[in-house]
Each structure stands twice: as C-alpha cells, then as structure tokens.
C-alpha cells in the first residue's frame, strides 16, 4: 500500500442511509479527482458493495477514504472496517456466488475486480478490514 | 424527606398562574398556538403532578406513577414538533415551571438552609428530567414527520406508465436503496396485472449505481413478471454501468436488454405484432413513437 496520504475523510457505516452517504461521498471524491466516468462508476459500485457488507455482515463500522500520491500517480483508497464476526475462510468468501446470506455472493469478489489493489484483514469474532485502491 | 409535592398541592392556583405568566413571557410564537390551549395543557399537567401523593417518588421519574405525565408531555412535544415549534420553545413549557417552584421553595423553607438546598436540588432535577423527556419526544415527533414524508416520496417516485395497450414502462430515477426498490418493483408487478400487460419495460437511465443488490431486485422482478406472463425488457444501461456489471460478475444474459427506452418500446411493439411507420400525408401520425 504505497504512497503518501494527501487527504482523508471518515464516513460512518451504521444504517442503510449511511450506505447511501458512502456512495455520495465516494462519488464526490472520485469526481473531484477527475477519474474517468467508467472508473468513477466502478469505484462507487465497489464502495456500495463493501459498505453493505460492513453493515450487513460486519454489523456496522466505518469507511476511511484517502487520496494517495505515489510518484506521479494519484489514487483513491477505501478502507472499510468493522468489529463484527470476521470471515472464517477468506478464499471461500471471495468465490463468486458464495454467500452466507441471501445475496448474489458477488459483492466481495466483484469489488476486488473493480479495484486495482485489494486486501482483506480479518479475525473471527474480532472484525474485518477491507482496504482497496484504485489508481488513476 | 421532600415536601415539594405537598407544597405545590397547597398552592396549586398560585403556582399555575405564575407558571402561565412565565410561559407567556417566554413564548414568542403566539401565532402557532393559542393561550387557551396552553393554559389547558398546563392545568392538566400540574394536576397530574400533584396527583402523585408519594413524596419519595419525585426523585425517580422512571416510576409508573409518572407514566401519565410523561405520556402527556410526549403528546404535547409531538404536536409542537408538527406545529413548527423549535425544540427549545417546546422545552420552555416545562422549564418555565422551574422559577415558580424555586420561588415557592424560598417562601416556604427560606430560613432553613438545609431543607432549602435539598428542595431546590430536587425541584431542579425534576424539571430538568421532564425537559429532557420533552426534547426526546420532540425528536421522535420530528422523525415521524420525516418518515411520513419519505413514504410519501416513495410513492410519488414510482410512476408506472402505460406506453401502449399491453405495454407498461417503469422509468427508475435516483438511488435505489432496498426499501425503495422493493416498493418500485411491487408497483410494477401490480401494474402488469391491472393493465393486463404482456410487456414491461424497466428503464434504468436515471439510476446512478447498479450494484449486486439492485441487480438482484431487478432479476427477481423480471422473473416474477415472467411468471405472470409478461416479458420484461431492460433499457437505459449506460456504457459505464454495463462495464461495471460485467466486472462485478452479474449475469444479465437471460435478460432482454436495449440501450434506449425507444428501442425497447419498438421491440415490444414488434413482438406484439405491431409496427411503427412514417406516413407521407401531412396529417399527424397516429402512433406516438417516431420512426428510425
Ligand atoms: N465485513 C464482513 N464481515 C463478515 N463477513 C463478511 C464481511 N464481508 C463479507 N463477508 C462474508 O463473505 C460473504 C461473501 O460476501 P459478498 O459480498 O461476496 O456476498 P453477499 O454480501 O453475501 O451478497 P451480495 O452479492 O449481495 O454482496 C458474505 O456472505 C459473508 O459471509
Ligand atoms: Mg455483499
């Protein structure tokens, strides 16, 4: 996770309304950073998925948005953290179609494909932190 | 042991008059509520307070004997919220009783420092807690108002339009959170039944984000429509949404999709054995759709 942090913002993820707010804040950031329209849509969609996971599976948490600078490149970093039940088997959770709820089981694997870098830190009964970056 | 309730009881009329006087001075929003209503509320409130005979209960607002008073205050706060009072104006109702009680206590126990201090503390706590309760109820009242407005908006923002005999369209606009998507999709299914439609066009041009939740709702609706004998056509998938859907891994291959609502409409017309043509005569065409 290379790069200097230029700017950060924290957004709570505790309710459905917060998920809407996450999308709006991330959209404002990527718009300001002048990502292409396709990239903006990808990043906002990934944020929406991960925020919903934080809320539904992680029982609520927060998002930290940062703007990174790595040499000539700028990037946006999204860090979702919760202190929920954790993910017992990360490989399984990242399998397309795997869900412990009633979703499509595509949120986690899909958002990994939508971003450039993707890391999951998790411990059962402790919580989960998903951090991801998209470079411009 | 406090004697405050007894003191209020034996000075009921004086306390009430002073309280009303204080309130009149404090409340600037005479336009929102009339004097008679305020004085009626204050009278009921005070009588409810002095109806509590066990002096020891004044220290504990959680007790069941305070329930009627708390309910009365809650009703009052909710109605003030609806009437457009601010939270502080609403809390003033209870708070303006405080100086009256202080005065009463001073008159009664002015020469006994111990009792004076004890009774003042009790009165202070009592009124503060009633005021906090008022504010909590006020916020709950506001939330109710907001909730109702949101529901009204949910209904407003789900127009199902009949494009042609047997063809309905649902133009979706804005953020699709779970609650709204549910309502929207149900109203589409109902419209299909009501209008006996064979074709339903769902247009997502105005939807900024299609994630797995939205996609799942769309797919469920399309399946349900199919079961009711209607075919769904999904239109308005913008290029950036299409790319994102592919990366997410959502499979829309089973779904009939068109880039534009007009294309979807044309397809629905064709499938129901109708065709739009341009006429050469000067009279306006009968069909609403335009030729290619
Ligand atoms: N923050 C989290 N805390 C605990 N478990 C999680 C968390 N995020 C994901 N998971 C687990 O990983 C599984 C897969 O997540 P994924 O987002 O791919 O699917 P989903 O949320 O079940 O459905 P959807 O396709 O609607 O997102 C989840 O069902 C859940 O068991
Ligand atoms: Mg998910």
Write out chain B residues lying below 8 Å of A50, CB-based: none
Q: What is the pLDDT of residue B156?
A: 57
Answer yes or no: are the C-beta atoms of B238 and B202 closer than 8 Å: no
The interface residues of chain B toward chain A in range 179-198, judged by CB-CB distance below 8 A, are 179
Q: What is the pLDDT of residue B283?
A: 59
Chain A nearest CA to B114, separation (Å) = 49
pTM greater than 0.80 (yes/no): no
What domains does chain B contain, in order, with CATH numbers?
Answer: 4-152 (1.10.490.130), 161-271 (3.30.750.24)
Write out chain A residues lying below 8 Å of B244, CB-based: 38, 41-42, 45, 114
Answer yes or no: are the C-beta atoms of A132 and A46 closer than 8 Å: yes
Nearest neighbour of A114 by CB, restricted to B179, B210, B248: B248
pLDDT tens sequence across B74-112 = 988 888 887 888 888 888 889 999 999 999 999 999 889
Nearest neighbour of A16 by CB, restricted to B177, B210, B211: B177
Residue with tokens 């600078």: A69
Of the candidates B238, B262, B278, B277, the one whose C-alpha atom is nearest the C-alpha of residue B167 is B262
Considering chain B, what is the average pLDDT of its residues? 87
pLDDT tens sequence across B236-257 = 999 999 999 999 999 988 899 9
DSSP letters along B205-265, please? EE-S---HHHHHHHHHHHHHHHHTT-EEEEE---HHHHHHHHHHT---TTSEEESSHHHHH
A102-116, B64-78, B144-158, B249-263: the lowest-pLDDT one: B144-158
Optimal mutation site among A48, A49, A109, interface B, most CBs of chain B within 10 A: A48
pLDDT tens sequence across B123-160 = 999 999 999 999 998 888 888 778 777 766 665 566 88
- Report CB contact under 8 Å: A111, B179: no
Q: What is the pLDDT of residue B145?
A: 78
Answer yes or no: are the C-beta atoms of A8 and A62 closer than 8 Å: no
Ramachandran quadrant class, A23 (left: phi over 0; alpha: psi -120 to 50; beta: rest): alpha
Q: Is the pLDDT of residue B287 over 60?
A: no
Using CA coordinates, name the residue in chain A closest to B208.
A41
Q: What is the pLDDT of residue B291?
A: 46
Which has more pLDDT, B176 or B74?
B74
Answer yes or no: are the C-beta atoms of A81 and A29 closer than 8 Å: no
Residue with tokens 């020891």: B56
Answer yes or no: are the C-beta atoms of B222 and B232 closer than 8 Å: yes
- Report CB contact under 8 Å: A41, B243: yes
Answer yes or no: are the C-beta atoms of A16 and B177 closer than 8 Å: yes
Q: What is the pLDDT of residue B243?
A: 94
pLDDT average, residue stretch B58-66: 84
Q: Is the pLDDT of residue B290 over 70?
A: no
What's phi and psi for B170, nearest 5 deg?
-125, 100
Q: What is the pLDDT of residue A113?
A: 96
pLDDT average, residue stretch B57-70: 86
Q: Which ligand is nearest to the CA of A97?
A: 1
């Amino acid at each position: 996770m290379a790069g200097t942090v230029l700017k950060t913002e924290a957004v709570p993820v505790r309710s459905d309304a917060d998920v809407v707010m996450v999308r709006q804040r991330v959209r404002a950031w990527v718009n300001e950073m002048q990502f292409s329209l396709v990239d903006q849509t990808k990043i906002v969609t990934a944020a929406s998925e991960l925020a919903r996971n934080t809320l539904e599976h992680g029982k609520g948490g927060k998002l930290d948005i940062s703007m990174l600078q790595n040499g000539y490149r700028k990037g946006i970093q999204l860090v979702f953290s919760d202190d929920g039940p954790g993910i017992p088997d990360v490989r399984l959770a990242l399998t397309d179609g795997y869900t412990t709820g009633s979703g499509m089981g595509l949120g986690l694997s899909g958002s990994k494909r939508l971003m450039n870098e993707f890391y999951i830190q998790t411990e059962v009964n402790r919580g989960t932190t998903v951090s991801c970056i998209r470079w411009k | 042991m406090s004697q405050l309730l007894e003191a209020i009881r034996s000075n009921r009329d004086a306390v009430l008059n002073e309280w009303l006087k204080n309130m009149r001075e404090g409340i600037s929003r005479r336009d929102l509520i009339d004097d008679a209503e305020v004085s009626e509320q204050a009278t009921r409130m005070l009588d409810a307070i002095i109806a509590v005979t066990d002096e020891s209960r004044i220290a504990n607002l959680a007790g069941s004997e305070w329930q009627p008073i708390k309910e009365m205050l809650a009703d009052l706060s909710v109605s003030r919220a609806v009437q457009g009072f601010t939270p502080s104006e609403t809390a003033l109702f209870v708070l303006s009783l405080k100086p009256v009680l202080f005065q009463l206590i001073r008159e009664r126990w002015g020469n006994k420092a111990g009792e004076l201090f004890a009774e003042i503390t009790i009165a202070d706590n009592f009124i503060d807690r009633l005021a906090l309760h008022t504010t909590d109820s006020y916020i709950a009242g506001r939330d109710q108002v907001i909730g109702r407005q949101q529901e009204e908006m949910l209904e407003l923002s789900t127009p199902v339009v009949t494009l042609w005999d047997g063809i309905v369209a649902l133009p979706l606009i804005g953020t699709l959170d779970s609650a709204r998507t549910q309502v929207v999709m149900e109203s589409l299914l109902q419209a299909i039944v009501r209008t006996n439609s064979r074709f339903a066009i769902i247009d997502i041009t105005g939807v900024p984000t299609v994630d797995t939740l939205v996609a799942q709702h769309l797919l469920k609706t399309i399946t349900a429509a199919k079961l009711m004998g209607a075919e769904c056509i999904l239109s308005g998938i913008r290029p950036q949404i299409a790319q994102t859907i592919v990366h997410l891994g959502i499979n829309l291959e089973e779904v009939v999709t068109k880039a534009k609502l007009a294309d979807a409409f044309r397809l629905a017309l064709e499938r129901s054995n109708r065709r739009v043509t341009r006429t050469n005569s000067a009279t306006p065409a009968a069909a609403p759709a335009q030729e290619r």
